[in-house]
Amino acid sequence: MTTTIDTPRPRRFTALDVFRGITVFLMILVNTAGPGAPAYPQLVHAKWIGFTLADAIFPSFLFAMGNAMSFAMRNPLPARPYLARLLRRGSIIFVLGFLMYWFPFVAEGDDGWAPIPFALTRVPGVLQRIALCYVAAGLLVRWLSVRQILMACAALLLGYWAMLLVLSAPGMAYDKFGTIGTQLDLWLLGPGHLYKKDGGFDPEGLLGTLPAIVNVLAGYLAGRAVQRGIDLSRTVWLMAVIGAALIVAGLAWSPWFPIAKKLWTGSYVLLTTGIDCIALAGVIALVEIAGIRRGTRFFLILGRNPLAIYLFSELFITAINLIPAGGDHGLYGWVGIEIFQRVAPGALGSLLCAFAYTMVCWAVGWWMDRKGLVLKA
């Protein structure tokens, strides 16, 4: 007679999915500020050196991706299928990001509508950086120990700093156009394939991806600690202490390596990782330890389908702005100015417009959740 013992499945922490959902919500809110008035300063990225709330969101998304990666690594595939899946997912995310920037593939000129040439399509971008970080972090966490991952984090941050200082022209390490990162992007891709709104500088350039990998690795280590810790309360307390230490370290480094999201400096990585550790510790304390679950489904809907909802948020706003609505405004511009700026003039109207659009995106996520639809790369 054979006795079968059912092995309990590892616990899935709701708090990690809630944290990811909060990040997606804030990302859409910041990216879709209503027109007609400047947004609140904290909801706008720092122009160069400096830090705002908006600057914390993208690294939080990478941190959340590392959290999700820690679940996948509980039972890793053998090397060959693991590599195949890693590269396939990374490639799909990269291509989706590239096509997202190319959309709607046509533009209206003096002679009517014409295809947007490939030569003028942006290659770097948010999803592209996510894809590159995903592949790089996936390789490191698959074959390195925790100690070696920490050493890799130090090497990436210090190595990036050294490259900026040594390879940039004298005195130009932190100059938007003189830094080696911008020069590398211009040499490899050319100005036509870079961000069009910042004079040839791309905030998601190739070299800046190196330190961004650390945000993913930090998220992986945090997720791993939460899953494997015996005493969750002690793990959360320790995570908050480490987060505070990272914030202090980032601020202490900033006089020599300034905090700058667009340059993705090492001090910025330490600061944002520290913030994420404290934020995640707080969410876990509320959801998992205190057992507060009311309202979590709102963010779980976003956290379960982050890729689909983010893509929708970017593509739909582009599509509705193609609809002329008087003057030089598309439909979203008209709604923001003629409705929300009349209801609440100024920054509040801009925020309310962005919130309304974010809720439209949430509604799409709610519909997909009800249908059991999940977009996976």
Q: pLDDT tens, 157-208? A: 999 999 999 999 999 999 999 999 999 999 999 999 999 888 779 999 999 9
Q: How far apart are CA 98 and CA 288, in angstroms?
A: 38
Identify the pLDDT of residue 276.
Answer: 98
What's the Cα-to-Cα distance from 358 to each of 36, 128, 267, 364, rounded to whole Å?
Answer: 18, 22, 31, 10
CB 239 within 8 A of CB 227: no
Q: In the predicted model, is pLDDT for residue 212 greater than 70?
A: yes
Q: In the predicted model, is pLDDT for residue 4 greater than 70?
A: no
CB 340 within 8 A of CB 352: yes
Percentage of residues in the chain with pLDDT exceeding 70? 97
Q: What is the DSSP string of 351-362?
A: HHHHHHHHHHHH
Which residue did the predictor score with more confidence, 289 or 74?
Answer: 289
pLDDT tens digits, one per residue of 256-290: 999 999 999 999 999 999 999 999 999 999 999 99
CB 207 within 8 A of CB 163: yes
Identify the pLDDT of residue 3.
Answer: 38
**Stated pTM of the model:** 0.93
Nearest Cα residue to 207 out of 152, 278, 157, 258: 157
Q: How far apart are CA 71 and CA 282, in angstroms?
A: 20
Identify the pLDDT of residue 6.
Answer: 39
Beta bridge partners of residue 114, listed in sequence order = 107
For residue 50 the two structure tokens come to 């400096």
Q: How far apart are CA 170 and CA 168, in angstroms?
A: 6
Identify the pLDDT of residue 12.
Answer: 65
Mean pLDDT of the chain: 92
CB 364 within 8 A of CB 301: no
For residue 16 the two structure tokens come to 């990690």
DSSP state of 113: E
Q: Which amino acid is at 129?
A: R
Percentage of residues in the chain with pLDDT exceeding 90? 82
| Mean pLDDT in residue range 308-315 | 96
Identify the pLDDT of residue 71.
Answer: 86
Nearest Cα residue to 69 out of 138, 11, 129: 138
Q: How far apart are CA 209 and CA 199, in angstroms?
A: 20
Q: How far apart are CA 359 and CA 362, in angstroms?
A: 5
* H/E segment holding residue 101: helix 79-102
Identify the pLDDT of residue 39.
Answer: 95
Identify the pLDDT of residue 7.
Answer: 38
Q: In the predicted model, is pLDDT for residue 2 greater than 80?
A: no
Q: In the predicted model, is pLDDT for residue 93 greater than 70?
A: yes
Identify the pLDDT of residue 207.
Answer: 97
| Mean pLDDT in residue range 232-258 | 97
> What number of other Cβ atoms are within 10 A of residue 150's Cβ?
14
Q: How far apart are CA 265 and CA 253, in angstroms?
A: 10
- Integer-rounded Cα Rg, in Å, for the chain is 22
| Mean pLDDT in residue range 325-353 | 91
Identify the pLDDT of residue 10.
Answer: 53
